[in-house]
Amino acid sequence: MLGYGYYYDPTYILVLIGALLSLWASAKVKSTYARFSRVRSMTGMTGAEAARQLLNSQSIYDVQIRQVAGSLTDHYDPRTKTVNLSDAVYDSTSVAAIGVAAHECGHAVQHNTDYVPLKVRSAIVPAANLGSQLFWPLFLIGLIFSLPMLVKAGIWLFVLALAFQVVTLPVEFDASRRALKMLSEGGMVTETEHDGVKKVLWAAAMTYVAAVIGSLLQLLRLLILSGAFRRNDD
C-alpha cells in the first residue's frame, strides 16, 4: 500500500524527475541565451528595431512594441496587441535579443492570421487556470475522505491544465519557425547568426517540452495514488 501524508510516498519520485527535467531546461535556456547575448548582430539593430522591421515586413502596423522589466519576461499579448520585450532584449543588439524579439513577432503573426492552435489556447485559458488551482485540493480531500467523485474531479481538472500545456507546444514551435523564416527572408541575420538564433529558440522551446513531460508524470502519479492501476481481486 502506498504511503501518504506524513508517510513515505514512493510516487513522489515522479515529481522529482519532472522537477529535475525542468531545472535542466531552465539552465539550458539561460546558458544558451547568455552565450549568444554576448554576440553582436551584424546589422547592429536592437531587439525593438528588429521587431518593428519584422512586423512591418508582414504588413502588421497595429501592434505596439513595449519595454517590460525583468529578464526573459518577453511575451506577446493578444488582448492589447503588444510585443513586450524585456530590458535585456529591447535595447540589446545581440543575436539572442534579435531571436527573442523575432519569436514574439511570430506570435503576433499567428494572431494576425488567426492561427488555430493560438485561438484554442486562448479559449481554454480560464479552464486551465481553474484546473491548476483546484485540482490538488479536490484530489487531496477526495483521497483523505475516500470520496471517489472528488478524486476524479481533481484528476480531470488537472487534465485541463495539462491540455493547455500541450496546446502551447505547437504554438511555441510555430512561432520560432516563423521567426527564423522572417529573419532569413528579410536578410536580417547571417548564416552563422541564424544558427545562433535557432539554438536560442530551441533551448527556449525545451522548457515547454519539459513542462509537459513533468505534468504527464504528475498525472501518472495522481492516477497511481487514486488506485486507477490497482487490481480488484474481489
What are the residue numbers of the active site? Answer: 104
Query: Which residues pair with residue 77 across a beta bridge?
Result: 82
Closest CA to 166 of 208, 107, 111: 208
- Backbone φ and ψ for 78, nearest 5 degrees, come out as -70, -20
Single-letter residue type at 48: A
Please answer whether residues 36 and 89 qualify as being in contact, where contact means their C-beta atoms are separated by less than 8 angstroms: no
> Measured between alpha carbons, how far is 101 from 33 in angstroms, rounded to an integer?
13
H or E segment to which residue 205 belongs: helix 191-226
How is residue 137 written as a grid cell? Answer: 485540493
Query: How many Cα neighbours within 13 Å face the side chain of 225?
Result: 29
Query: How many Cα neighbours within 13 Å face the side chain of 154?
Result: 22
Give 184's contacts (C-beta < 8 A, 6+ positions apart): 194
How is residue 64 written as a grid cell? Answer: 505596439
Please answer whether residues 108 and 76 qualify as being in contact, where contact means their C-beta atoms are separated by less than 8 angstroms: yes
Please answer whether residues 105 and 73 qualify as being in contact, where contact means their C-beta atoms are separated by less than 8 angstroms: no
